[in-house]
Amino acid sequence: MHNIDIKKNAVETLQLEAAAIQHLTQTIDQDFVDVTNRILNLQGRVIVTGIGKSAIIAQKMVATFNSTGTPAIFMHAADAIHGDLGIIQPEDLIIALSKSGNTPEIKVLVPFLKQTGNTLVAMVGNLNSFLAQQADHILDTTVEREACPNNLAPTTSTTAQLAMGDALAVALQTCRQFSDRDFAKYHPGGALGKQLYLRVADLSDNNGKPELAPNANIREVIITITKHRLGATAVIDNDELLGIITDGDIRRMLEKHEDLTGLKASDIMAKAPKTIDRQELAVEALHRMRQDNISQLLVVEDGKYRGIVHLQDLLKEGII
């Protein structure tokens, strides 16, 4: 194939799948609302099952549910009839994924699922299928055709299942008012986890504690800022925090004064500096820096100066 043909084929595939997802907006009905409410009031878990490519989508749904506050377990349809039915507890809800709704494994499994008395939801692409007829609720993922040129390989149909699963997960998340803090609890590793547990003190305690008296001369100011490489120093008098001097204050001083003789730290400091308690979460420091368009915050504890947290500290930890 020529490159132009390859591009055309790829575009057509994406257009078909996009059209399939767009069609799903017309299938969101009262069943979708009822399923959402049932899961919200569920005392147990959501058991998601499927066979073949649908099983892979089912696993992704389970991962998304669990990370957004809905306890879920994957059960392979083939393994279910060989012992895995024991996973299902009385308070659970079952979602079965199948394009045709008539695969042999599904036809064998569904009667056993009905015997348990659990609510059965069919995410299915054939509303006249065995699965659809046996289900308590239907999430319609019917597609006109697969993107596969032979109309065989699951492509458009699995995209529709994936999108419907996401729509359900997001609806549940929204109804639960599941916040970014809640989300971080389920992701303790990496940047998300650090947003939950990393505190300002964990960063500022490694930075040193640049400080000067209000009568320090300009040379002392520049040396102190340069030594600690935090772009700023606090101005302290008898443990009282008077102000902050930043790199920007130095530049503005040079623009304003030709003769630096006699200038003191108190002459160029910014009063009422922005501060943050050392026990605050590091992500809160980021929010405040963004809000005030600054690069560092003075860290305090019980009103006493304890150090500086810099934007670069947050970058290094992956908070940004």
pLDDT in tens, 262-319: 899 999 999 989 999 999 998 899 999 999 999 999 999 998 999 999 999 988 888 7
Q: Fold for domain 198-316?
A: CBS-domain (3.10.580)
State CA 111 to chain mean position distance: 38
Full-model pTM: 0.68
Distances (CA, A) of 97 to 14, 63, 215, 229: 22, 15, 74, 57
- Confidence band for 171, pLDDT divided at 50, 70 and 90: very high
pLDDT cut 90: percent of the chain above it: 74
The reported pLDDT for the residue numbered 191 is 61
Q: Which distant-in-sequence residues (6+ apart) come within 8 Å of 267 by Cβ? A: none
The answer to which of 87-91, 144-148, 167-171, 261-265 has the lowest mean pLDDT is 261-265
- Confidence band for 220, pLDDT divided at 50, 70 and 90: very high
Nearest Cα neighbor of 162 from 136, 138, 141 is 141
- Give the pair of three-digit tokens for residue 20: 């399939």
Domain(s) labelled CATH 3.40.50.10490 in the chain stretch across 3-178
Q: Fold for domain 3-178?
A: Rossmann fold (3.40.50)
Domain(s) labelled CATH 3.10.580.10 in the chain stretch across 198-316
Q: Which distant-in-sequence residues (6+ apart) come within 8 Å of 29 by Cβ? A: 140
Amino acid in the structure at residue 258: E
259 or 137, which is more confident: 137
Compute the distance between CA of residue 85 and CA of residue 82 in angstroms, rounded to an integer: 8
**Which spans in 117-234 are helix H?**
130-134, 156-175, 180-185, 190-197, 200-204, 218-228
- Confidence band for 188, pLDDT divided at 50, 70 and 90: low
Residue 265 burial (CB < 10 Å; 0-12/13-18/19+)? buried
The reported pLDDT for the residue numbered 232 is 94
